């Protein structure tokens, strides 16, 4: 039991999340999402190898509303992971560590992700 007068550890909802922290967490989440996407890609390859009926079933699944949302989400994850990975490469080279530079590069990652995702799906 905790005493009512005892100080409590601050909860993560008390703090304002910096953009760099949010992007770091999202980078990890998109990495996991891309792994799931590779499993779906492997399923697609198995469906192609399985013949016309197997492929038709898989294509129907991916053309459904849920399938299309997943494809858009994986595209977003890919472009975010790519843009944020480039940001990390710049950091690895020793550049962009100032507070205002990390904020600008974070916003650029978000803008690049949205623009590239929209451009990709509009081009299709």
Q: What is the DSSP string of 42-99?
A: HHHHHHHHH-HHHHHHHHHHHTSHHHHHHHHHHHHHHHHHHHHHHHHHHHHTT---SH
> What is the CATH number for 61?
1.20.1300.10
Q: How many structural domains comprise the chain?
A: 1
Q: How confident is the model at residue 2 (pLDDT cuts 50, 70, 90)?
A: low
Flag whether 80 is in a domain. Answer: yes
Flag whether 35 is in a domain. Answer: yes
Q: pTM of the predicted model, to two decimals?
A: 0.86
Q: How confident is the model at residue 15 (pLDDT cuts 50, 70, 90)?
A: confident
Flag whether 5 is in a domain. Answer: no
Flag whether 3 is in a domain. Answer: no
Flag whether 2 is in a domain. Answer: no
Q: Looking at residue 16, what is its pLDDT?
A: 83
For residue 73, the enclosing domain spans 19-123
Is pLDDT at 19 greater than 70 in this prediction? yes
Flag whether 4 is in a domain. Answer: no
Q: Looking at residue 3, what is its pLDDT?
A: 63
**Ranges 3-12, 69-78, 81-90, 103-112: which has the least confidence:** 3-12
Flag whether 14 is in a domain. Answer: no
Q: What is the tens place of the pLDDT at every residue in 27-71? A: 999 999 999 999 999 999 999 999 999 999 999 999 999 999 999
If you average pLDDT over residues 74-102, what whole number do you get?
97
> Are 113 and 81 within 8 A, CB to CB?
no
Flag whether 60 is in a domain. Answer: yes
The radius of gyration of the chain's CA atoms, rounded to the nearest angstrom, is 20
Is pLDDT at 5 greater than 90 in this prediction? no
> Are 63 and 44 within 8 A, CB to CB?
no
């Amino acid at each position: 039991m905790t005493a009512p007068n005892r100080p409590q550890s601050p909860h993560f909802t008390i703090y304002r999340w910096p953009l760099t922290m949010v992007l770091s967490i999202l980078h990890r989440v998109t990495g996991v999402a891309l792994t799931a996407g590779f499993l779906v890609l492997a399923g697609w390859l198995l469906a192609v190898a399985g013949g016309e009926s197997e492929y038709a079933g898989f294509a129907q699944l991916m053309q459904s509303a849920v399938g299309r949302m997943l494809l858009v989400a994986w595209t977003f994850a890919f472009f975010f992971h790519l843009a944020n990975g480039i940001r990390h490469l710049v950091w690895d080279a020793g550049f962009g560590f100032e507070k205002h530079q990390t904020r600008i590069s974070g916003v650029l990652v978000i803008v690049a992700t949205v623009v590239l995702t929209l451009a990709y799906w509009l081009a299709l």
